[in-house]
A and B are shown apart, each in its own frame.
Chain A
């Protein structure tokens, strides 16, 4: 029987954004900066999920399918070359099946020591209503497939197409994931309340995410560049009080068009040439946070629970 819907999954406690324990990133940095290219595979003819239609048009939606595929064939390289230029290693949100479909892309990322985390098997398969065995299967598939292809044990998760179940976070902790990118409640990492083990929420972004900016906010490329710089300025300023995290999530099928690269490059240049910026990956942020700040922050959250100062 389907359980009743809940008003809140109680994944974290309320924690005011002031007077928190001070975080200082390696080298005294104020902002931990990471870039998350989503390297995704969308299927031409995926099975239909009762809760969400994969394509707006009847299959084959050649228009949108080929729009997505542009990222892998064309856009990825442009994005990667610009990231190389500014010494940014990507933390890849990976459609795990892409290991099979496009190993050439994977190899380039491995060679650059980029980090991989899982974004499900395909971005056209949704987790809604999966039973526990099914959800375990996509996690185990992700861990084993990425390990086999890259030698990396994945540490992070961004649910496929941001589709979850009530048990997703508990399972992630059970499989020793360090972080989830699925929660957007904060600009600093913080503990996620899981049944067993430890998991943190890693600030990702649905604001300066190129897809949101281009497809929802309908921004021009130059406005996108300005938004990135403005967000950085704010987090850089606040990072004096306590270190912040800034992530730019990308999709090569969006940012990777020629008319969009210049503004993005300018923004990367702006951020990576500032002092006090730790240009890093999500796993490195999670490991550092867990080692130096998890316990302090967890204790502070517990102490301030219920509105205490």
Chain B
């Protein structure tokens, strides 16, 4: 076995990034951000409402939470669906208790299957973020371009039609994109995407083929129930502790470097369980008692950021 000559060549070895999607920029060198009411931390809570189909294609990989056993995997199908029926109500009750608004990242299939949830989200005044069609319909490098355009349009059009909301945010199922996802979502009128976890603050993205600019919002893959409780297998007290430590860290550095965003990403079938939801209550109660917190949805945070 030999190593090809091209393997020793570095065509993108240059100043800045090795692509043209976003510019290199050190967070500490940026202008200080001031949030409304001089808040130090903008708290952005997002909840995922997902549909995992029994006949998921599982191509080119399975989204986290996807079906596990041979067809029909009723055990995982219903476990996930529990979140859309029971879990989300528990999470909303906790949010209501502390009068916290949120963003809801939603597969368009969920809106079609459960119109009740869309109605309820609108009553709560929460923002809907388009999260593709369902958790089996991924966006990925090498996928057929027409298929991707159809998936983006189905998701965005359906959610706009059923909710009446403008739907300006996008979160790709499994945070997976193709080389063209940014172009297609930009063409569909999306302002910000949640897939790029390179920063604690928004940064500008350039969609390919001159489609224009959009924003990456710092939707956390770390401060998330899936990461902490499912992937890392930490217990509920440790989930609360990491939320507190995250806030304390961001709050402290905001004094020197300006306003920060704290994102908490929730999954109803994970955090909305009977034995778990009280720890969400504990965490949000603690956050509600901190000074300098501005609870807002993704669009509000981005608009405030853009005015700086």
Chain A interface residues toward B at CB < 8 A: 2, 41, 43-45, 47, 49-51, 56-63, 65-67, 69-70, 73-74, 77-78, 97, 100-105, 121-122, 125, 128-131, 134, 137-138, 218, 220-222, 257-263
Contact B250 A137 (CB under 8 A): no
Could you say which residues of chain A place their CB within 8 Å of the CB of B10? 97, 121-122
A45 to B18, CA, bound (A): 8
B204 contacts the other chain (Cβ, under 8 Å)? no
A101 touches B15 (CB 8 A): yes
Residues of chain B lying within 8 A (CB to CB) of residue A51: 1
CA A47 to CA B200, docked complex, whole Å: 29
Contact A258 B250 (CB under 8 A): yes
Contact B221 A58 (CB under 8 A): no
Q: Are B18 and A77 in contact (CB under 8 A)?
A: no
Question: Which residue in chain B gives the minimum CB-CB distance to A100?
Answer: B13
Using known A-B contacts A77-B26, A257-B222, determine if residue A60 contacts B241 with beta carbons closer than 8 Å. no
In Å, the complex CA distance between A120 and B29 comes to 28
Whole-angstrom distance from the CB of A244 to the nearest CB of chain B? 30
- Which of B85-93, B112-120, B190-198, B272-280 forms part of the interface with chain A? B190-198
Knowing A44-B19, A259-B242, the reply to whether A58 touches B24 (Cβ < 8 A) is no
Nearest-neighbour CB distance to chain B for A93, whole angstroms, equals 18
CB pair A58 B60 closer than 8 Å:
yes
Is B222 a contact of A78 with CB atoms below 8 Å? no
Q: Which of A50, A63, A220 contacts B174 (CB 8 A)?
A: A63
List, in ascending order, chain B residues with CB within 8 A of A62's CB: 175-177, 195-196
- Size class of the contact patch on chain B: 35 or more
| A129:B195 contact, CB within 8 angstroms | no
Taking A66-B197, A129-B1, A220-B241 as known contacts, 7 extra A-B pairs with beta carbons closer than 8 A to each other, sorted by chain A number, are A44-B18, A66-B198, A100-B13, A100-B15, A122-B10, A125-B7, A258-B247
Q: Taking CB as reference atom, which chain A residue is nearest B143?
A: A58
Contact with A along B168-197 (1 / 0, CB 8 A): 000000111111000000000000000111
Given A58-B141, A73-B27: A43 and B61 interface contact (C-beta under 8 Å): no
**Among residues 140 to 188 in chain B, which have CB atoms less than 8 Å away from a CB atom of chain A?**
140-142, 174-179
What residues of chain B lie closer than 8 Å to A65, measured between beta carbons? 198
Contact between B197 and A67, CB atoms less than 8 A apart: yes
**Which chain A residue has the least Cβ–Cβ distance from B216?**
A66
User: Are A261 and B249 in contact (CB-based, < 8 A)?
Assistant: yes
Shortest Cβ distance from residue B194 to the other chain A in the assembled complex, whole angstroms: 11
Query: Could you tell me which residues of chain B, from 184 to 238, have a CB within 8 Å of some CB in chain A?
Result: 195-200, 216, 221-223, 231-234, 238
Enumerate chain A residues within 8 angstroms of B72, measured Cβ to Cβ. none
Q: In the assembled complex, which residues on chain B have CB atoms less than 8 Å from the CB atom of A137?
A: 8
Q: CB-CB contacts of B238-269 with A at 8 A, as 1s and 0s?
A: 10011101111110010000000000000000
Instruction: Tell me if B74 counts as interface (CB < 8 A to partner A).
Output: no
Closest residue of B by beta carbon distance from A131:
B2
B28 interfacial contact with A, CB 8 Å: yes
What separation, in Å, do the CA atoms of A97 and B231 have in the docked complex? 32
User: Is B25 at the interface (CB under 8 A from chain A)?
Assistant: yes
Chain B neighbourhood of A45, CB < 8 A: 12, 18-19
- Given the known A-B contacts A49-B7, A58-B60, A60-B141, are A262 and B245 also in contact in the complex, defined by CB atoms under 8 Å? yes
Find the A residue at minimum CB distance from B197: A66
A–B Cβ pairs within 8 angstroms, 12 of them? A41-B18, A61-B176, A63-B197, A100-B14, A101-B17, A105-B26, A129-B1, A129-B3, A131-B2, A134-B8, A137-B8, A259-B242
Q: List A contacts of B221 (CB < 8 A).
A: 63, 67
- The answer to whether A101 touches B199, judged by C-beta atoms less than 8 angstroms apart, is no
Cβ–Cβ < 8 Å partners of B70 in chain A = none
Tell me if B303 counts as interface (CB < 8 A to partner A).
no
Known: A101-B14, A101-B15, A218-B232. A74 touches B245 (CB 8 A): no
Q: A70 to B198, Cβ gap below 8 A?
A: yes
Which residues of B sit under 8 angstroms from A220, Cβ to Cβ?
Answer: 232, 234, 238, 241-242
- The answer on a CB contact under 8 Å between B15 and A103 is yes
User: Cβ of A49: which chain B residues have Cβ within 8 Å of it?
Assistant: 3, 7
Scoring B7, B140, B221, B231 by chain A CB atoms within 10 A of each residue's CB, the highest score goes to: B7
Is A259 within 8 A of B15, CB to CB?
A: no
B241 to chain A, nearest CB (A): 7
Inter-chain CA distance A131–B8, complex, in Å, is 11
- Assembly CA distance A44 to B61 (angstroms): 19
| CB proximity of A12 to chain B, nearest CB, Å | 27
Contact B141 A47 (CB under 8 A): no
CB contacts (< 8 Å) of A104 on chain B: these are 26, 29
A63 — which chain B residues lie within 8 A by C-beta? 174-176, 195, 197, 221
Closest to A265 in B: B249
| Nearest Cβ on chain B to A51's Cβ, whole angstroms | 8
User: Across the interface, which residues of A come within 8 angstroms of B234, CB to CB?
Assistant: 218, 220
- Whether B16 is near chain A, meaning CB under 8 Å from some CB there, is yes
Q: Which residues of B contact A222 (CB under 8 A)?
A: 238, 241
Per the bound structure, the CA–CA distance linking A142 and B243 in Å amounts to: 40
Which B residues touch A128, using CB under 8 A?
A: 3
**How far is A65 from B176 in the complex, measured between Cα atoms in Å?**
11
Complex Cα spacing A105 to B29, Å: 11
